[in-house]
Structure 1
């Protein structure tokens, strides 16, 4: 009997020792140099010795919390205006303490998607990289979530905590996100935080939470084909994989908005992209508790991808993206076809993409009356052997080079090149080989050469339109 009591005593002692050696920690992505979202209530959480009373202090604010039996705790900071002055965030429980230095308050943007968002600043052309490095600013910070696969092998890449934008630091930063942040921070003189969470080759389905799929079974049925678990790439393509391994760590961090560049990996399955992409936006907005969280996204660029649909599957993804911009509130799409490269799925011009993201943000997030969209098709009139397209456009429509990307088809569905004539905000299409046109399309190929712009140099999206029956 004494022997049993001795063992019981040892076990209790071990449990007590384990509990009291639990470190005071703060959750991802809190760290020194971070940007806190202005005008938002900030939840700060972590672990501590169970039963401890903790104090969180930042500037003139403080809040108390008590760690639960599992050691978890959380405290809150009330909404604050933007503040460029770095301050310490202090957490202490009477015995242990944490100090997170140089914390500022501004706007936090999540940069997500696949390889064109992952594309690093160091991979820019040398002159562009040097120019971006000259825009270094202590008001711009980035947190980079570690990837899970590279070159067909599993990675154990660690997150890179909040880091300041210095010429030496940005080599591994997202080029698009950095250009975007530099534009916004300089314009409004506020700190900008980039939560970079993207992964090459990822599908849109991989970023949607399993809980969202469970609550929306109609969306789950629309997933692209899953890869077998023997293939390491299943970690970046199958439903919810990247949500679980990467995004879940940061998606509850308060955000100003999202910039998103993805779609290439869904290019072979365009039929359900509209539904899946809309689901992703809905999922993230639910988690953020922001029903109108601004969501800005890049339309697929041009790329000479071969497929069995006449090399048009990327055109169909672009159409789905355009439909999202037209039907999902508080979204904006930027067109990138004109800065793509036929033979490179990773075009080097990320500056134009970042600047167009900034234009969209200035328009729908920061309330500027600025032109952020190229010509948008608003209607079509069929008759007399021609189609007249009507556009919403800043100023008269302009052409760069020949208007060679327009096509018409009749009832047989066979498209032929069209002759196009500009009339301010209208385009008149005819074709000698299509006497009674029933449909028109513009730049409707995976690799295209956009030619239609507004007076500010912003391009029109590829589109197709059919006569109503």
Structure 2
């Protein structure tokens, strides 16, 4: 074989490998992947990256679409709108994507009440969830990512998962029940892009352009864009926290001792739990306290694996049963549910020990939560008298800077990468972290909605949101309320077209900022979607909304848009407050006098000037609904 022929073979081989290498450079965003749900009845943008000028061919449902990457290596093709269906396959050069559905895609965002997964509500919905198996409901869980320098083009990781078996436990509970409702009605696949972060304020979710009217937010974001500042802050706070924990453990007299089964607690103090120890006669302190409860298992009990429920604990706990460690939780919010193997239980005397750490503020066991050990069908109550002993007192731990809560960061990291992905609409559950800044939120929330519609290139994008639920203890007299004021701001955003609000004041929990009833929330969002996004205008999606007030002597006459057939209350109307010119509100009496009218009065208010309804942090007692069972929107009217 001569040298010229060998060189020709080598050149051909080199060119072939170069072609393979070139095609291997095609890259897709994480959203465009196996199992994705594409939005029906909208043009579909498929995009990615490749070498500059590289030819890209997309094949889908028997048709082929061609393009080339631009000088920056970006490419995109637009597929014509499609009808619901699947599963399908799609080929993009050498990449084949499988199990693709076409249906409705919803962006699900906000803070922890949107993020809260199905696994956190299994105690309430276990029987239902364990029966559910729907591969046509899918979720893409966006990883928590923030960036202050520029909008990101892709997520670090992520994949589409189906509402089946174990994977369903990681779905957003609100979003899952929302999707389940929609699928039951329309039979169309539903994709959920779960992009939510616990504790996040609204400004973290708005782009730099969207915050133009808030220069102080932009200044803060520019400060956070400095890597040195972020790194030094994080390092300093981590060191302080580690030192605090190390000192606590070194000084805690009970470490590795008081958790033991045979610990003598006869000289320990006594306390009634649940409750905060500061409210139970124990001096206010931060640090560690050990609690122990003795309980009996009767001789006729069949020993089997048990479930220990310790409500919610503030802040951190480590739990032992008969000296054996059974679980720990590092922060206050999750319900404490620990499995107890039958091998560590015995008939007769047993004990449970809690090492509780309080970082700052009040510490203790949250009231009105379940505290028990369940063995089979037997429930052993654990509320009541406990023993306690202080392990170590510490100064309050300093605060932590959560950079994910800073302006612009979450928009750049968690919303910007999906801007090209067509969606049906947005469901949003947020506001808790903006309570106390209600005037600001009055402009910020509409700015967020407009910003997302602009960035997602859909000026009419349906934006459905949840009003704040009831929270904190009920007040005996009418009072000012930051939560009520923010709810009022949320109501004002309904002026924007294509919006709807799910009122959930009746399903909150006074002692839990994460109420478990996520099914009702999802259902009410789905009603809003059916009407606003799907055009089913006969669907009642809102409770009564105040229209007008008139004064007739000592009585205020309120007229409502009922949205349903008529106003309704199961019992005597509650939740109304009234004031005269002095502005001092008192609880009022009220009665429904026509399908859309309520009469309100108070014996000591001769000339009414204003009426409030459900105007408190905790409005669980308010009971005005429409005949379709939806609660009235809280209001203040003058």
Q: TM-score, normalised to structure 2's length?
A: 0.65
How many residues are paired up? 433
**Equivalent-residue separation in structure 2 for 1:140 and 1:387 (angstroms):** 48
Q: How do 1:114-263 residues align onto structure 2 when only pairs under 5 Å count?
A: 114-148=111-145, 159-213=157-211, 217-220=212-215, 229=230, 230=233, 233-263=401-431
Question: 1:420-458, CA deviations, whole angstroms, 9 ceiling, x for partnerless residues?
Answer: 121132111111121111101011111112211111111
**Equivalent-residue separation in structure 1 for 2:133 and 2:214 (angstroms):** 42
**Equivalent-residue separation in structure 2 for 1:37 and 1:310 (angstroms):** 47
Q: 2:605 aligns with which of 424, 434, 447?
A: 434
Q: How do 1:19-418 residues align onto structure 2 when only pairs under 5 Å count?
A: 23-83=25-85, 85-92=86-93, 97-148=94-145, 159-213=157-211, 217-220=212-215, 229=230, 230=233, 233-304=401-472, 310=479, 312-325=481-494, 327-368=495-536, 369-393=538-562, 394-418=564-588
Deviation at 1:72, TM superposition (A): 2.2
Quick check: 2:115–2:196 contact (8 Å CA) kept in 1?
yes
CA spacing shift, 1:123–1:361, aligned 2, 3 Å: same
**Equivalent-residue separation in structure 2 for 1:420 and 1:221 (angstroms):** 45
Quick check: 1:133–1:170 contact (8 Å CA) kept in 2?
no
| Structure 1 residue runs without a partner (length 5+) | 1-15, 150-156
1:282 counterpart SS class: helix
Q: TM-score, normalised to structure 1's length?
A: 0.87
| Structure 2 residue runs without a partner (length 5+) | 1-17, 147-154, 225-229, 235-399
Quick check: 1:205–1:223 contact (8 Å CA) kept in 2?
no
Deviation at 1:167, TM superposition (A): 2.2
CA spacing shift, 1:182–1:447, aligned 2, 3 Å: same
**Equivalent-residue separation in structure 2 for 1:212 and 1:405 (angstroms):** 37
Deviation at 1:106, TM superposition (A): 0.8
Deviation at 1:29, TM superposition (A): 1.2
Question: 1:45-66, CA deviations, whole angstroms, 9 ceiling, x for partnerless residues?
Answer: 1122333211001112321111
Deviation at 1:176, TM superposition (A): 0.5
Quick check: 1:108–1:257 contact (8 Å CA) kept in 2?
yes
Deviation at 1:81, TM superposition (A): 1.2
Residue 630 of structure 2 aligns with which residue?
Answer: 458
Question: 1:301-323, CA deviations, whole angstroms, 9 ceiling, x for partnerless residues?
Answer: 0111799x955011011001111
Quick check: 1:28–1:249 contact (8 Å CA) kept in 2?
no
Quick check: 2:208–2:218 contact (8 Å CA) kept in 1?
no
**Equivalent-residue separation in structure 2 for 1:102 and 1:126 (angstroms):** 32
CA spacing shift, 1:36–1:266, aligned 2, 3 Å: same
Deviation at 1:67, TM superposition (A): 2.1
Quick check: 2:122–2:129 contact (8 Å CA) kept in 1?
no
**Equivalent-residue separation in structure 2 for 1:137 and 1:272 (angstroms):** 42
**Equivalent-residue separation in structure 1 for 2:216 and 2:634 (angstroms):** 28
Deviation at 1:148, TM superposition (A): 4.3
Question: 1:132-185, CA deviations, whole angstroms, 9 ceiling, x for partnerless residues?
Answer: 342321211110101249xxxxxxx95431111112211111000011111111
CA spacing shift, 1:234–1:400, aligned 2, 3 Å: same
Quick check: 1:38–1:105 contact (8 Å CA) kept in 2?
yes
Deviation at 1:401, TM superposition (A): 3.8
Deviation at 1:20, TM superposition (A): 5.1
**Equivalent-residue separation in structure 1 for 2:218 and 2:506 (angstroms):** 30
The higher relative CO (CA closer than 8 Å, separation ≥ 6) is in: 2
Q: Which has the larger radius of gyration?
A: 2
Residue 3 of structure 1 aligns with which residue?
Answer: none
**Equivalent-residue separation in structure 2 for 1:49 and 1:170 (angstroms):** 38
Deviation at 1:237, TM superposition (A): 2.2
Q: How do 1:413-424 residues align onto structure 2 when only pairs under 5 Å count?
A: 413-424=583-594
